[in-house]
């Protein structure tokens, strides 16, 4: 696997990284929010696309700030202090509820649970393992390093994985998939949601790192599984599948 092209911050792990991160994403956030303020509510497609674009900027800006990396040595790892990771996770969930508050039309598209909740939660956990398995197998085959993490760091990764991906699932499986279901049907909407999830990782795959095939292939696999979990069981089980997989991969506990 080729070495990634990743611009990592020299302030990796320092408190100044968090400040630099918010400064970095602030201009784009202001422009997108101004656009959404000026855009009439009836343009649902553009509003959903704008929120997804804002999320992609937040996610991709984490790389040059050094909060996480993808490479052949560790495969996928979070960095920074536990407090920083928890702040990022909580901030993501607050952003999800803030969008819901200001976008009641989009909020109606979000189906948190479908059917028996306990079954959905169990399916979410099983699919988390299913999503993580290819990466875990690769890490063992390639003899990637599995550094020991403290219990506090593992907990922080769990918070970021679950709460950060809750926002992502709200956007892709709540707004986008929910909107598409009304036009093309549930099964087709799930497929489109999965593919667009991979499309939203194109900049990460081709510009920020040097793993275009691996990242796009994995995110398509991940996106389709999460989309079909959402179709049958709702956004919360899809979040457990997605966030749980990221936790299993990033924590190195497998």
Q: Which residue ranges make up each domain of the chain?
A: 15-251
Q: Give the CA angle between residues 232, 223, 51 to the nearest 5°.
A: 100
- Cα 140 to Cα 74, 98, 146, 242: the distances in Å are 11, 40, 9, 21
**Predicted local confidence at residue 176, as pLDDT:** 98
| CA 197 centroid distance within chain | 9
Q: How far apart are the first and last CA of the chain?
A: 21
- Cα 54 to Cα 92, 95, 167, 209, 210: the distances in Å are 12, 11, 11, 19, 23
pLDDT band at 15 (very low <50, low <70, confident <90, very high): low
**Predicted local confidence at residue 14, as pLDDT:** 56
Q: What are the backbone dihedrals phi and psi of residue 39, each rounded to the nearest 5 degrees, phi first?
A: -80, 125
Contacts with 116 (C-beta within 8 Å, 6 or more apart), sequence order:
none
Q: pLDDT digits over 49-88, tens only?
A: 999 999 999 999 998 888 888 776 667 888 888 999 999 9
């Amino acid at each position: 696997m080729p070495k990634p092209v990743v611009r990592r911050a020299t302030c990796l792990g320092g408190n100044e990284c968090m400040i630099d991160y918010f400064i970095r994403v602030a201009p784009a956030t202001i422009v997108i929010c101004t656009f959404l303020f000026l855009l009439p509510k009836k343009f649902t497609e553009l509003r959903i696309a704008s929120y997804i674009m804002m999320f992609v900027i937040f996610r991709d800006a984490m790389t040059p700030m050094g909060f996480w990396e993808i490479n052949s040595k560790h495969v996928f790892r979070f960095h920074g202090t536990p407090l920083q990771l928890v702040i990022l996770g909580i901030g993501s969930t607050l952003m999800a509820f803030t969008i819901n508050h200001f976008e009641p039309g989009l909020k109606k598209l979000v189906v948190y649970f479908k059917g028996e909740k306990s079954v959905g939660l169990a399916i979410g956990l099983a699919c988390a393992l299913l999503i993580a398995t290819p990466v875990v197998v690769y890490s063992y085959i390639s003899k990637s390093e599995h550094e020991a993490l403290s219990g506090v760091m593992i907990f922080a990764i769990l918070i970021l994985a679950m709460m950060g991906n809750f926002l992502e699932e709200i956007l892709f499986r709540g707004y986008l998939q929910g909107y598409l279901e009304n036009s093309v049907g549930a099964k087709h909407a799930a497929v489109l949601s999965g593919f667009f999830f991979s499309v939203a990782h194109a900049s990460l795959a081709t510009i920020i790192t040097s793993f275009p095939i691996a990242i796009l292939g994995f995110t398509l696999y991940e996106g389709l599984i999460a989309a079909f979990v959402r179709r049958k069981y709702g956004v919360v089980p899809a979040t457990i599948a997605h966030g749980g997989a990221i936790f299993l991969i990033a924590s190195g506990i497998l």
